[in-house]
Structure 1
Amino acid sequence: MGDFIGFAVPHPPLIIPEIGRGEEKACQKTINALLELKEKLRNMNPETLVVISPHAPLFSDVVAININDKLSGNFGYFGAYNVNFSYQNDRELAQALIAAAKQEGLAVAGIDESLARVLRVPVSLDHGTMVPLYYLDPERKYKLVVVSQGLIPFSELYRLGTVIKEVAAKFQRRIALIASGDLSHRLTEDAPAGYDPSGRYFDRMMVEIFSKGDPWELLTLDTSFAEQAGECGLRSFIMLFGAFEGYQVRSRVLSYEGPFGVGYMVAEVAKGEEDANRNFYPKLMNKKKEEIKKRREQESPYVRLAREALETYVRTGKTITPPMPLPEIFSRKAGVFVSLKKDGELRGCIGTIAPTTGNLAEEIIKNSLEAGLNDPRFEPVEEKELDELTYSVDILYPPEEVSDLSELDPKKYGVIVSKGYRRGLLLPALEGVDTVEKQLDIARRKAGIAPDESVKIERFLVERYY
């Protein structure tokens, strides 16, 4: 492969003197570590910096790569308009990454100014990119490629990292891969996202992973735990390690500190000798297959029907009919929600509050197809995804109005918030929804109801099946 090095770096705007105006001194360990990495870059003299930023245009179903000729931006949003950045995009490398990723079936797309206008997203350099470059490349001497994170499965992000490695080898590029991302934003009571004890545990875990250079724990991390910790760099780090698939690594943490309730880590990952034992992607795929196989061996009749309904339609275009004679468990009527997940991430969820069909079997079939094909948040499920999906079925009890918030419990009850024709529903026991306030806030936002509007609140119980 071409010469290759990787950095994990934070991006607090306050470390920029023109923004911090003295407060940057609270992050001196971080600044010193970045300056040390700058010398590494000078010695290596890479042709291109590939920056993965959580603050580049972010999409739920695709990783975006900027393909504009020029990449520019400033810190005007933070009051420092005079700190400007301008780079030549390494479009040859960017286009090759997109083409190679698509060939692997990965959800990657190029974004330029015209598409950005349609999507109403900015394409100027974001602070997740500019803050590290302020220290790592003060002379703006290298070419640049900017990659967004993308809320796609961890396995696909890791695979995209391996694609970066392969394209770098093909073009014999000297590349520095810069994974931009802070750690937990919930380290203290006055932290930006509030306090959560999982924050410190998450940060210790990240420091240990980078100290050892072992990404396996990253790849198998519970997504709900990461969300609870309030992190922003995890997906960048996964792509970074993917770029070293099949190689020994020399990994070290240069600094860690947690001022302002946010964790900042600076780390370096360097390529060593080839090592077949460090091919983690096949192990990850095997683990996932075994887990799904075990889950399907134990799935309930409701889930089996939902799965068979979607698989049959995607593969044949035909809608199955309920099993006949109809088993007693399917003969009742009820509202049903069918949820699909892929690699622990939501892939579709649609349902009915009250029954709309003749029996529970018909309700499950109908809503399974809706969740897989017509959830507006996602593209329709494709045949190649079917073996990677997991399902759950929620059977709803009739809702009842509540007069006091003390009657709610997000772990036990789902909630319906309504104002006129606007109505938002949230199922119970959802990952990351652990307070009544958060449950109601999400339900309000789903309905387009402002926080200060009076609403009707209902609660409901569910039977959840896997």
Structure 2
Amino acid sequence: MAQRKSEVAGTFFPGDKDGLAKSVDDLLTHSGALRSYLPAAPIAVISPHAGYQFSGALTAASWNMTARCRPDRIAILSPSHRVAFRGIAVPQDHRAVSLPGMRVRLDTIGAERLCQDGHAVAYEAAFAREHGIDTQLPFADVLHPSVRVLPLVIGDAAPHQVAAMIDAVAAMEGETLFVLSSDLSHFLTQDQALAKDRATCGKIELGMWDKLTGEDACGCRAIAGFLASRAGAGARVLRMARTTSFAATQDASRVVGYGSWGLFPAAADVLPGDLRHVLTDVARKALKSRLTRGTMPEVRVDSFAVPLRTVMASFVTLELDGRLRGCIGSMQAHRALVQDVIINAVKAGFEDPRFAPITAAELGRVVIKVSVLTRPAPLQFENEAGLLAQMVPGETGLILQDGARRGTFLPSVWSSLQTPKAFLAQLKRKAGLPEDHWSDTVKAFAYRAEYFGEVEGAPA
């Protein structure tokens, strides 16, 4: 058959032309601010696939992030919900999918190439009533009407197998947008689901693809495969929304969890200006609170915008009259970004051993700067020259470790240490090592930083 008619129309989304068009338009409009909200376009999104009454708002949030993308194809990766098989399936017979008032054309050339190269098999049965694919198609048609879709249903396949397929697709001519179709926990109580999904958020945002299981997310193979692939290596992950079916049903006894994420290029900045302003503002308020109350302020993470709840690492730098007044940060991400910034701001002001605690008189003159770090990536080298060759002035942040000795320099340090040799020598000193130290046990991890701050004590 040349065309497959969606069998989930009328159940997972409206079954009539006008109803579907209105539903998609309303959902996209509700999250429409995202079209101009983010400073970069994603290379992939994680998008829920339940009925639109349950997760449609989050599906729209994921797809709205792609409005600035100009892909040549859209690869939608879904778990197999109804058919058990080994490997990854592409359509065998149909070249398009018919939806109420819509017709989505498929990338049959890409599908054939995957089969020829052994990355997929043509298996039509995998697509019958597969809502993991079909719930995404109306959004693809509305936002990217001329772009062909490459649907991929994942059966029993290891992460490395999925990663190899993703890299094969990414290597095809043109740009590919990856849509990782997945819900989160299934059929737990509301309290259990919230706790489970919170842990899953951390795994996704920390790139812990090898820890994801089917209990975390039904689309775990697609998510793990992307994070393990070369195409997704070092991708910056930003959480956009999270909820459960309780919001729609008010039944807390048996819920399904949903989440929306954007995955961005490793070199991209992901925080829009208003969220940067929030972070510098709360850092200043935290310092003031510590001065007046004498204790670390309590952080109610859930009161902040969802992207600021993403697990990320930060450094907070305080400058007074153009000179360093304190700097404390996290080398590894382990808590919500907004919480990390608040805690590090207070520590920079009151616990940096190089300085006395900040005073009320100084606070009004201090300039706060924030560096949000990407996930550190281990560097491979045989000697010091090999490490130096991989350091890019102005861009590379570096963690250096040898045994118990460890230190880091942010990319901003390049402004005063302008050569890799000088940068590394001073980093050794910071780690408590001689400048000429070298051994076979030296380890180094590179990262970059999204950098922003205040100007003369006022948020920039």
> Taking structure 1 as the reference length, what is the TM-score of the superposition?
0.34
